[in-house]
Amino acid sequence: MIKQTSFNEWNPQYDYVDLCEVQLTVGQFKDSYGITFEKQLEDGLGECFFACVEIDAKLFSLFGACDAESSPGIVFRIQGNNPSVENSIHEVKKALLLEDEHYSWTQGHFTKPRWALFRQGDDGNEVEIDRFYKESVALYNMKIFEDRGHKQAYTVREII
């Protein structure tokens, strides 16, 4: 089941990963699933459309560019710390009930996030806090923890 949710629930510090593109217009998507899009003017792209939805307790950001009625192509995005791209694609397909030909592409790499953020406690033990798809997002999150003034040390490492 797909339901509209607020962008306030989307955590921007995790960034996003493009997951798949659905060949429906913004208008067709609204008619089929009852999801409304916010319209924004983006430099270089013109009028773009955004929505945030929840499927099986996971958040997805939807992005549609250009004309809402005549340009098909809605990109589903997941947060950059989502542990499973493959499961997320299956959840989208299950919720939308569309045949494969409605997807112009899906993310081809089914890897887990490979940038890990660690905290080292006073006792010397290291604990993994979270994983991210992009190193820059992991480093950004490390800075957030460091700026809070905790005594622990934080590091980011690539996990292969």
Quick: pLDDT tens for 100-141: 888 887 766 556 788 999 999 888 899 999 888 888 888 988
Quick one: pLDDT at residue 136? 86
Residue 4 is inside which H or E element, if any? strand 2-5
pLDDT tens by residue, 52-89? 999 988 899 999 876 667 778 899 998 887 777 778 88
Complete DSSP assignment for 27-68: HHHHHHH----EEEEETTTEEEEEEEEEETTEEEEEEEES-T
Q: What is the DSSP letter of 82?
A: -
Quick one: pLDDT at residue 80? 80
What single letter denotes the amino acid at residue 82? N
pTM: predicted TM-score of the whole model, two decimal places:
0.73
Quick one: pLDDT at residue 110? 57
Q: What is the DSSP letter of 7?
A: G
Band (pLDDT 50/70/90 cuts) for residue 10 is confident
pLDDT tens by residue, 13-33? 778 888 899 999 999 999 999
The Cα-based distances of 52 to 5, 60, 64, 74 in angstroms read 5, 6, 12, 12
Quick one: pLDDT at residue 112? 73
Quick one: pLDDT at residue 151? 77
Quick one: pLDDT at residue 1? 87
Quick one: pLDDT at residue 63? 92
Complete DSSP assignment for 92-121: HHHHHT--GGGEEEE----PPP-EEEEEE-
